[in-house]
Amino acid sequence: MPILTRGEFKVSLANLAHNYRTLKRLTKGRAAAVVKTDAYGLGAQKVVECLVKEGCDAFFVAHAMEGAEIRPFAENADIYVLQGVGTDCAELFWQYRLTPVIASPQMLAFWNGLNIEGIKPIIQVETGLNRLGFRSSDIDVLLEGGVGRFSYVLSHLACADDGLHFMNAKQHEAFETVRKRLQLPATLSASDGVFLGPDFQYDMVRLGAAMYGLNTVKGITISALKPTVFMSAPVLQIANVPEGDYVGYGATFQTKRPSKIAVVSIGYGDGLMRSLSNRGQVRLNDVSAPIVGRISMDNIMCDITDIEGVNVGDMAHILDDVYRADDMAKDAGTIGYEVLSSLGKGKRFCKIYED
């Protein structure tokens, strides 16, 4: 059996397409795809190509450079830039036909000064998240120049992952007030907002985390959505460690019995979160093997004492159908969004796409 040294990062484009179709059926308007941060680490080019085949005609990125990178694979789609436009990226908007999401009077003035024709920005308004967006006191600035120069009004929900949270109704009411004043097509919901129902969907939803197979609703598992990322890494060595010995940097784990420890070729240099030290797990032969000791840059150590038949060269499953990104996030004390985007940035994986 050949011995490998690098992990594999497999992306199921079939599952991605399935998730997009599933979510699109739940929406009443346009279903845009959020592909910022290299499509949550999956690889923006392949993701965009896949979704264009599914009929997706609108994409959201964070920065203009991301929009420029995907334009060749979505020639006729609208590409919206959430961080807006500035002097560091202005030329990309006319060159690649990108649409800025404008969130302040200052940015609007800058955009107007560029005199780029044929592109109608989205206007972002603040409704309760207290992040980006025009305040209610700024709305008159938008009305003065006429709203025909804009394509949508956008806002972002703070607590849409909790369907019973009071903020949802509060933000919906605030958004309705602004929308009625501006009389523009509207987009309020990202993935989690889709599950709040038609009143929150408006003319366009922005599908992100759920499309990538993450669970975006607290207390509810959306069984119709499938994981899109499957990761594995090779076992480099197996050692018999006596009772009472220590494992890893800092000696944070001590064996309580004679143990069999597998060294697996993945570490925080690959995007695996160090907070999984002594908390996370991998799966070998369909059995969970706890990560013991501190995660190092290139390796983790896993306790396989109770697992039969593990050999050097076997692939330890980092993410699979059973242990998903949301499960890893729970162990790491974070969210699935961060898990995928962090692991997806790993340059040392063999990235594989499966239709």
Residue 313 to residues 4, 13, 91, 269, Cα–Cα distance (Å):
6, 27, 50, 21
Task: Check the CA dihedral 46-49-55-58 and report its sign.
Answer: positive
Residue range 13-212 forms a domain whose CATH class is alpha beta
Count of beta carbons in the 10 Å neighbourhood of residue 62: 16
| 71 contacts: CB under 8 Å, gap ≥ 6 | 79, 96, 97, 98
Cα separation, 16 vs 51, whole angstroms: 8
Looking at residue 1, its pLDDT comes to 64
DSSP code string of 255-321: -SSSEEEEEES--GGGT--GGGTTT-EEEETTEEEEEES---SS-EEEE-TT-TT--TTPEEEEE-S
Looking at residue 219, its pLDDT comes to 65
List 350's β-bridge partners, or say none.
Answer: 8
pLDDT tens-place values along the chain, 355 residues long: 678 899 999 999 999 999 999 999 999 899 999 999 999 999 999 999 999 999 999 999 999 999 999 999 999 999 999 999 999 999 999 999 999 999 999 999 999 999 999 999 999 999 999 999 999 899 988 998 899 999 999 999 999 999 999 999 999 999 999 999 999 999 999 999 999 999 999 999 999 999 999 998 876 667 789 999 999 999 999 999 999 999 999 999 999 999 999 999 999 999 999 999 999 999 999 999 999 999 999 999 999 999 999 999 999 999 999 999 999 999 999 999 999 999 988 889 999 999 8
List 291's β-bridge partners, or say none.
Answer: 302
> What type of residue sits at position 191?
S
Looking at residue 222, its pLDDT comes to 72
Give the DSSP H or E segment for 192. Answer: helix 191-194
**Does residue 236 come out as left (phi exceeding 0), alpha (psi in the -120 to 50 range) or beta?**
alpha
Active site residues: 36, 249
Looking at residue 186, its pLDDT comes to 98
Q: State the DSSP code for 51.
A: H
Cα separation, 96 vs 79, whole angstroms: 9
Looking at residue 220, its pLDDT comes to 65
Q: Which fold has domain 229-354?
A: Lyase, Ornithine Decarboxylase; Chain A, domain 1 (2.40.37)
Q: Are strands 253-254 and 246-247 parallel, antiparallel or unpaired?
A: antiparallel
For residue 70, the SS3 value is helix
Looking at residue 3, its pLDDT comes to 80
Looking at residue 279, its pLDDT comes to 97
Contact of 37 with 82, CB cutoff 8 Å: no
Cα separation, 86 vs 109, whole angstroms: 11
Residue 118 to residues 100, 121, 171, 204, 331, Cα–Cα distance (Å):
12, 10, 31, 20, 48
Looking at residue 226, its pLDDT comes to 95
Q: Which long-range contacts (C-beta less than 8 Å, at least 24 apart) are formed by 301-307?
A: 301/247, 301/248, 301/253, 301/261, 301/262, 301/263, 301/264, 302/261, 302/262, 302/263, 302/264, 303/259, 303/260, 303/261, 304/238, 304/260, 304/261, 304/262, 305/257, 305/258, 305/259, 305/260
For residue 352, the SS3 value is strand
Looking at residue 206, its pLDDT comes to 98
Domain ranges (residues) in the chain: 13-212, 229-354
